[in-house]
Structure 1
Amino acid sequence: MLSKSRRVEIGSLTQPAEGATMYMVAENTSIPVPKVHCAFERKGINYTPMVRIPGKMLRLGWLDRSPESKAKILSQIKGIVDQLRLIPPPSDQVISNIAGGPLFDSRLGGGSYHGPFNTLQEFHRHLREDYDGDEDLPDANRLVVRHKQYCGKPVLTHGDLNTMNITV
């Protein structure tokens, strides 16, 4: 039964790997995340029953906040991102969702699912849609050069961190 303290994410955009991610974050950080009861798919629809975290979306009332309040929230978000990046990856040099499967991002071309990728270079090449340089596009060429440089090992991050999925 649903109540003010429970919610279920439902839909084709809800990913079962999100439940595994929230569980891993809860186990390895002090970041407040909803307690996920389970995550499953039935008849092409994904369900993630979880405990609701009290509060409201950050975007609601952001413009009315004082500069001090905004600075405090931004500092807390930085701390959260820092904690996420300290969680050891499940495997070396793989860019994937937490369960090792494809990343979900409907903003990228070529469908909503991408990867998994064995290297950062493979991931970056995918993001560039296999673009590998052209003399007539100096800005794009600089991006290709930057992507080919070593930038460290992959870390856990939030793929679409924004004011609609942060609760205050």
Structure 2
Amino acid sequence: MGREVRNIATGSRSFTDSIAAKTQCNANVTSTDVRRLGLLESLSFKAQIAYGRRTYGKRASITRISRTQVVKTTSHTKLTEALTLDYIAANTTIPVPRVHRIFEDSRGYLNLVMDYVEGMELEQVWDGMQPRDRLAVMHQLRDYIAQLRKLKPPRPGAVEALNGDACKDFRIRADRPFASVAEFQMFLGRDWFMENKLAEYNEFAPALQRSAARSYRTVFTHCDLAPRNILVKGARIVAIVDLEFGGWYPEYWEYTQAYFSNLALPGAGAGVWELFEEEAFPERYPDELTTEICLASCFERY
């Protein structure tokens, strides 16, 4: 049998209220949020998954199970992704999928049952888009990034997931939340780099030193704003997806992470990053990007 987190769409206490309470007290989701599924319910859900794969196919971690819903499951899916999606939906106008139910299967994997959003990945249609349509998408994205940055962290300065857990990012593999940006940067190796490697990167020393001298606020960050995670219809963004890495990060992190995410595109992005940088970001952080590039070349995080 599996387990099911209480239906997010129903109940005497709204999921949004539950999130607000957990975020305020910085508490983790506990076993009291989970109930045991009956055997028939588990079998029914497995049948839905099988039907979806036959009917719609399976794509990476996503299986469409009906005209209106998909299931996301991986070995590393966490409840924080569902919390984040609902928090963003409740506090911004950013279009994100609505989570309806969460199951834990016999492997212990979480299954997020979410809205199916009809649209194309920006990555798939970018090359065929008119310049004005590309610009329109970037301006929408700029507004969405600005909305994320206006959200108020429960613990200003802490680098953590929405519920106070460690931020999930396979590229840095943090095993804990960080009480401060300085602690986060130390974990990334910045202090060691400045003490031991600065001479080898002398050309970039001014940018590295300026970045090291600054203090940073924390803002809510998607953390993987790659075109594959932006769904569009024509020139309109219909969904921002894959918020599993989302959390409270240093204010420059969205900007630097977007650079690395866009490098992974076929053909080095065909101008995506340049337009992202110019049109989508309310604030730019060139010194911090230089620092992250140097650190990435030294520690091979990406």
Q: Match for residue 116 of structure 2? A: 52
Of 103, 116, 125, the residue aligned with 2:167 is: 103
Q: Match for residue 28 of structure 1? A: 91
Equivalence map 1:126-141=2 (5 Å): 126-128=187-189, 131=192, 132-134=194-196, 136-137=199-200, 138=202, 139=204
CA–CA distance in structure 1, aligned partners of residues 171 and 225 of structure 2 = 13
Q: Which has the higher contact order (CA 8 A, sep 6+)?
A: 1
- TM-score between both structures, scaled by the size of structure 1: 0.86
CA positional deviation for 1:113: 3.6
Q: Match for residue 214 of structure 2? A: 149
CA positional deviation for 1:41: 4.3
> Could you report, residue by residue, the CA deviation over 1:125-165 in whole angstroms, capped at 9, with x for unpaired residues?
112265242352333685365134212x2000111111111
User: Taking structure 1 as reference, are residues 142 and 114 closer, same or farther at Cα in structure 2, changes over 3 Å only?
Assistant: farther
> Could you report, residue by residue, the CA deviation over 1:13-50 in whole angstroms, capped at 9, with x for unpaired residues?
32321110110100001111111124454433122111
> Could you report, residue by residue, the CA deviation over 1:35-73 in whole angstroms, capped at 9, with x for unpaired residues?
112445443312211112221111111011011000000
Q: Match for residue 7 of structure 1? A: 70
CA–CA distance in structure 2, aligned partners of residues 107 and 133 of structure 1 = 23
SS in 1 for 2:70: strand
What residue identity is the alignment partner of 2:79? Answer: P
SS in 1 for 2:111: strand
Indicate the structure (1 or 2) with the bigger Cα radius of gyration: 2
Of 97, 107, 116, the residue aligned with 2:177 is: 116
SS in 1 for 2:110: strand
Q: Match for residue 23 of structure 2? A: none
Unmatched segments (≥5 aa) in structure 2:
1-47, 49-64, 233-302
Q: Kindly indicate whether the alpha-carbon contact (under 8 Å) linking 1:39 and 1:49 is maintained by their aligned counterparts in 2.
A: yes
User: Taking structure 1 as reference, are residues 142 and 41 closer, same or farther at Cα in structure 2, changes over 3 Å only?
Assistant: farther
SS in 1 for 2:152: coil
Unmatched segments (≥5 aa) in structure 1:
none
CA–CA distance in structure 1, aligned partners of residues 113 and 205 of structure 2 = 43
CA–CA distance in structure 2, aligned partners of residues 25 and 102 of structure 1 = 19
- TM-score between both structures, scaled by the size of structure 2: 0.50
Matched, 1:91 2:155: yes
CA–CA distance in structure 2, aligned partners of residues 12 and 133 of structure 1 = 38
Q: Match for residue 63 of structure 1? A: 127
Matched, 1:37 2:100: yes
